[in-house]
Structure 1
């Protein structure tokens, strides 16, 4: 049934010309497939907690109201329900991992381009490291955002997420 649902979800995305895809497999299975394809960086982003599917109508309404108020006041959104905090924490972590992956791919591409241009290994690595360490995810300080999202014991979000 999950496979059929995924197939139905893919068609509208393709018609709209979007690259996003629906995958019915568990994160573990997707990660294993990425490793088999040799896509270690993609596999890293799949090593995360799954997102909680539903908030429920009451919690969803409360979170939407809090998000609108934060936007109106020009402040950061802070979840108002425990379930909302869990969903928000997982989404933040997923977003930050995607930003980190993007920075790592950019650094790898810079290294490869420098090596192809006959730069020494050290020079190419220096350029790649400079790009990676100056990387700012989505227009804000990546390191600070990463620290906020991954607070708490064992690197889990403070929202009470456990593995």
Structure 2
């Protein structure tokens, strides 16, 4: 038979453990204005600049190679910038299917910045329109507008 003292100690231990699990974790909610970009100190930064220069000269092949190299060394949060650049490049090259996939990938990694995400949905809408997917394009535009509307409400 278990003594009342052992029962009391066991009950106190269980209550202490239960108290620990009932405490909600402290988390920081994602901000809607989180900046999106690549730090100047990042190795991907100079490659992104080189890609933009190559694109402005009309050398889309070199621009794509720079961006793909930058992706291989991108830090946390930087990939979304590079995927977006690649999506825009693929649209300019007349490759809307590739652009759609890259924009979707950028969305998966995008921070909680409504304007940034809306811009990605705009790219998706254009890519889908160029593929003849009118319904998909309209849905993407609606998502972009919804995000812009939520941003207006936050101001």
TM-score by length of 1: 0.27
The structure whose Rg is larger is 2
Higher share in helix: 2
TM-score by length of 2: 0.28
Higher relative contact order (CA 8 A, sep 6+): 2
